[in-house]
Structure formats: C-alpha cells, structure tokens
C-alpha cells in the first residue's frame, strides 16, 4: 500500500460522514429557506416583519449584555486567580469551571432554583421576587454558562504573559491600576476579543436555557423552534437558522483569528 493510498483511506470515513451529514444537510437547509411562496425574499421578510426583527434585536442586545458582563467578571476573577496563590485557590477555580459541562437545560434549572417561583431569592427576600422567567433570568442563565468559558480563555492568556512586562512597568514607577490599564489589558486584548466573540456566539445560539426558562421571551432559537414545531413554517425556520448560523460562525471566525483555541459553543 503506498502512502497516497493510505492517506486516502485515512480521510475516507471522515469525508463520507461530513459530506452525508454536514455538507448536504446544510445545503438542503439553505435551499429549504427559499422554498416558500416568497422565495429568497424571505430574508427580506425577516427584516420587514416586526416580530422577527424585534426578536433579532432582542437576541443581539441580551447577547451583548451577557458578553460585557461575562468579560468584566471573568477578567477580574481570572487575573486575580492568575496573580495570587492562596489556600483554596484551586477550589475556587474548580467551582468557576464546573458549569462547562452543563447543558443549557441544567443551566436553566439553576436559574429557576435561584429566581423561580419557589426559588431561593423569593424565599429569602420579602416581596414577590421572581425573575427566572423574564429577560433577567435569561441574562443570568447566559451569564452562568459564559463565565467559565471566558475565564478559561482569559486565564490561559494571562498565564502566558511575560511577568517582566509588569516588573518593567513597576521599575518605571507605575501604580497598580496603571499597570492593569497600560500593560495587562493591552496585552490581553486579543484574548479578550476572542473570549467576547465566543461568549456572544454562544449566547446567540443558546437554546436549552431559553427552552427551560422561556415563557414569554422571544429569542431567536426559541422562535426558530416554534416556527418549526408549532407553525410548521419550515422555510422561515430554515431562513432564521441560516441567519443565526451565519452570525455565530462569523463571530467564531473572529475569535479564532485572535486566539486559535477551540472552545465549545453550546449551552
């Protein structure tokens, strides 16, 4: 068997699988989006129908808010954990990365336990504090699974930073906050952009969390789901999926060009 044959054999199973279950289905999905009466005009219809447009905007706004919050929290915590060694550090780190393996439904349930009708906040505080099923709940749910992902990216980048940079800034007389602003954040910028793009894409596509919490909030994945299952509007479900897929894919391409790491989009 020559090397050429062997290379061919190595790629054959993957190629068949990818062709049959990724390339052709995605092609079918794109074609299906143009099969309604409106043809390819359906993409214009998304922008002209207030319900779809507001859903799209709402999804983007929530995802952006989650991205900003997760970046702020995870960068603060991540830098703290990289720069300080103390007893219990590993425990904190384990807690912060635990939700990595939680599916979106479980994250939704965690938010219900916190802010649902029978949730902790409602039990402890006087007054009727139920936020799980509102946009706040969705925000917190997305934040729940975004914190670990952003944290890992930021910490990986921070550990690679040359400590001499910070020492050099100190010998030049910079106070701690200036070191953060002038040295650490600029050095971390690529990692922060990458982590932000990942967090944004993940939030945009998150279905499980919204599915568990959703009562009256329209986010894109939920609308796709209802269009498909309840309205049997296959073309619109497909078109919205294509739009969603393009947005998340573009975001992750940005992330990859800045970091090159593989981080799971899921939730």
Tally the residues of the chain.
267
Tell me how far apart the alpha carbons of residues 28 and 261 are, in angstroms, rounded to a whole number: 30
Write out the binding residues for another protein, residues 203-262 only, by CB under 8 A.
Answer: 204-208, 211-212, 221, 224-225, 228, 234, 237-238, 241-242, 244-245, 248-249, 251-253, 262
Q: φ, ψ for residue 126 (rounded to 5)?
A: -70, 155
What's the helix, strand, coil split of the chain in %, to 5? 80, 0, 20
CB of 246 to another protein, least distance (A): 9
Told to check if 68 binds another protein by CB under 8 A, we report no
DSSP string, 38-81: TGGGHHHHHHHSHHHHHHHHHHHHHHHHHHHHHHHHHHHHHHHH
Q: For residues 130, 224, 206 and 250, what is the CA-based torsion angle, rounded to 10 degrees?
A: -140
CB of 44 to another protein, least distance (A): 20
Told to check if 49 binds another protein by CB under 8 A, we report no
**Contact stretch for another protein (CB under 8 A) within 5-13, 37-45, 52-60, 160-168:** 5-13
CB of 202 to another protein, least distance (A): 9
Write out the binding residues for another protein, residues 101-130 only, by CB under 8 A.
Answer: 101-106, 108-114, 118, 120
Of residues 47, 61, 181, 264, which one binds another protein by CB under 8 A? 264
Q: How far is CA 226 from the centre of its chain?
A: 22
Write out the binding residues for another protein, residues 141-160 only, by CB under 8 A.
Answer: 143-144, 147-148
């Amino acid at each position: 068997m020559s090397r050429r044959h062997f290379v061919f054999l190595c790629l054959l199973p993957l190629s068949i699988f990818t062709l049959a279950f990724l390339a052709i289905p995605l092609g079918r999905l794109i074609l299906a989006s143009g099969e309604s009466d409106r043809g390819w005009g359906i993409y214009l219809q998304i922008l002209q129908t207030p319900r779809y447009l507001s859903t799209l905007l709402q999804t983007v706004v929530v995802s952006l808010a989650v991205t900003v919050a997760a970046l702020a929290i995870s960068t603060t915590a991540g830098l703290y954990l990289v720069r300080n060694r103390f007893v219990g550090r590993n425990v904190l780190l384990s807690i912060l990365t635990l939700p990595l393996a939680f599916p979106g439904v479980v994250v939704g349930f965690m938010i219900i336990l916190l802010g649902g009708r029978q949730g902790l906040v409602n039990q402890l505080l006087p007054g009727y504090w139920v936020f799980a099923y509102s946009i706040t709940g969705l925000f917190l749910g997305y934040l729940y699974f975004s914190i670990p992902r952003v944290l890992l990216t930021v910490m990986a980048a921070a550990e690679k930073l040359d400590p001499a940079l910070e020492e050099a800034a100190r010998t030049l007389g910079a106070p701690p906050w200036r070191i953060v602003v002038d040295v650490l954040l600029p050095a971390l910028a690529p990692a922060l952009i990458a982590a932000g793009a990942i967090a944004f894409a993940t939030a945009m596509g998150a279905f499980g969390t919204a599915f568990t919490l959703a009562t009256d909030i329209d986010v894109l994945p939920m609308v796709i789901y209802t269009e498909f299952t309840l309205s049997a509007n296959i073309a619109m479900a497909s078109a919205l999926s294509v739009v969603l897929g393009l947005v998340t894919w573009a975001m992750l391409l940005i992330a990859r060009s800045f970091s090159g790491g593989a981080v799971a989009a899921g939730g």
